[in-house]
Structure 1
């Protein structure tokens, strides 16, 4: 079996209107992604999805530029091919995380081909499933406090057992937001998670987390800058609320240092952030060896990447906590056949069972949302201006408060 072509298609798929307001947010509320299709001489077509962190123009160009290196290769030599891309693009001199923004869609497409050719769902190729129903958290956007209370109440009534929101802009407002969520989800059986995205100094983190403790927090995600693991450990040792690492353990190469430092209680992982889907499964294994439970991350995801994540969660034993599908719950449509993947029973997503990653591309939808991207994003200059402001600035939030709010 040989690769005969690779196609990269940038798309913009609309989301429901956002409740979070920011001077930084411009253009339509969309999920941006590059849809990757890898074709083989045996007739298989593998599909993947690359996120838009660097901009779709850059990601599309990188995916297209791999043709010279991948055409003629056996698509099942996945680990070798991805490592060769890292080396040939000189990305061993940069952070592997940067490389994987573009390469993750290619790798998922290769895994799709491998599982299709083996006539089994991807999770079986990866050794079988520990779970077929994947619990998801309910994400609550930052908005007026009354709105957060109402959304929390609605989500609990719908069946969600875990609620999540972004924090890290203003400590007093953050504590008030958590209190508002707990007001709408009064039962302590409902877990609350908060994500600071590295925004706090050590002292501010400790002080703020201690104020939040009364509301019953399952964990605080990445309270301090990712580069200072000692600070992360200081926070962990100074509060009663568990600490989850994310940016500090983006890749398996980072995670080893977080584990050795005993700096976190839990970790959040994602194949599009790690050293690929192979890397995220290695990271999960390392965390398992350290006795650490995992939750899966999500970031502006369409159904192709979500399907890949479900197979990761299913096949790794210690993805034993509720996971994120983030903005996907607000998708109006998708590029996959039959539109967005939906829950049959809240809060669970089911792992696709057909060979490969278990979803297929709807050609008409793909063309429609490629055209939408070109006309409404690229031509209007919104290529890098549609991201969630609570995520974008991370540890620089305090420097940009005036323009973020």
Structure 2
């Protein structure tokens, strides 16, 4: 007989370095975890989840799709980072509950795994050449075979050649040191405007990056028409896109090779799985964005395990944001994220597969955080994209 799994309690924990964790408890005592957060807007998303909680109380946690549809469509205004991130964390927690209730990992409920391990990469600093080699060696020692770094620091709309040459030098250092034993993704981070992208590509092409991420801001995706035909380097984007409707015109335009929806921003497991399937029909690959905590990462991996077009997974273990508390500090079974030759093995535990250390979580919640990204300005005082 199917358990009712009625939602009884919703709790939120704002914890350092910059995360928000959600705990949903059912009347039957099954706990599900989610990570609904926008970096720099944790309090705003927290308020949004609480508003949505008024609808969730007393509902059956079994009805994941119906809850998703109501939360997305029932408030009249739809989409955007705050609403979709709140839905994302709730969706993650509901899948965690269902998997635990049935005693299977979430990927089994999504159709079963298509792979037994997932390739991983981690971020290193690319803003400053002094740290590039040091951080790359640190990640290689941890077991990574791939890294991603920022291609640039702050950049003017039309930058000097001195700044352009600095960008190329960073990846040159890595290529000379590691050869092709290390895959290197370059994140333009939306810092570069259309007028500079092709010039930067000219400088970077000899060092053969794995991909170029967010060569322009997602609101300027039409500019990818000019960039895509200019280079053979795969183009990646999508971390600031929040639903299948955001991805639809990009996929139809045919100017992207790798999509990067974030499991804590793009509607959770339910929606990112749909986005992945849409992308597969356009022969586009999936590499979920994930600079966040263990629940977001576990959710991304559950989608990766079941998506044939998933190629690599970002994670934030040990990155510079994680001061005082790191991703694994909140996890009772950190071994699930252990790397073997650059890969994480298929999870075996039910639900999302991570067990949260609630004592550490409560310790972190007492500290809390008010993280926000820096504001950058150029030499003339004009705003620069971070």
Seen in structure 2, the aligned counterparts of structure 1 residues 393 and 130 have a Cα distance that, compared at 3 Å, is farther
Please tell me whether the aligned partners of residues 317 and 328 of structure 2 are also in contact (alpha carbons under 8 angstroms): no
Q: Deviations over 1:83-125 (max 9, x none)?
A: 2122343332xx3443121221111111111111222111101
Equivalent of residue 173 in structure 2, options 180, 198, 206: 180
Q: Which residue of 1 aligns with 2:88?
A: 104
1:400 aligns with 2:383: yes
Q: Which runs of 5+ in 1 are unaligned?
A: 14-29, 378-382
Equivalences for 1:153-302 in 2 at 5 Å? 153-156=137-140, 159-168=143-152, 169-170=154-155, 171-172=163-164, 173-185=166-178, 187-247=179-239, 249-299=241-291, 301-302=292-293
* 1:62-77 map, 5 Å: 62-77=48-63
Partner of 2:312 in structure 1?
Answer: 322
- CA gap of 1:212–1:4, structure 2 versus 1, over 3 A, is closer
Q: Deviations over 1:169-188 (max 9, x none)?
A: 34423222222222332x22
TM-score (norm 1): 0.82
Give the superposed CA RMSD.
Answer: 2.6
CA separation of 1:49 and 1:154: change in aligned 2, threshold 3 A: closer
- Give distance in 2, aligned partners of 1:133 and 1:37: 28
2:104 partner SS = coil
1:8 to 2:11 alignment? yes
User: TM (normalized to structure 2)?
Assistant: 0.86
CA distance in 2, matches of 1:366, 1:260: 43
* CA distance 1:367–1:196, shift in 2 (3 Å): same
How many residues get paired? 366
Structure 1's 133 and 307: CA in aligned 2 closer, same or farther, altered over 3 A?
A: same
Closer, same or farther: CA 346–12 of 1 in aligned 2, 3 Å: farther
Residue 24 of structure 1 is matched in structure 2 by none
* Worse overlay, 54-63 or 271-280: 54-63
Following superposition, the deviation at residue 11 of structure 1 comes to 3.1
CA distance in 2, matches of 1:262, 1:203: 21
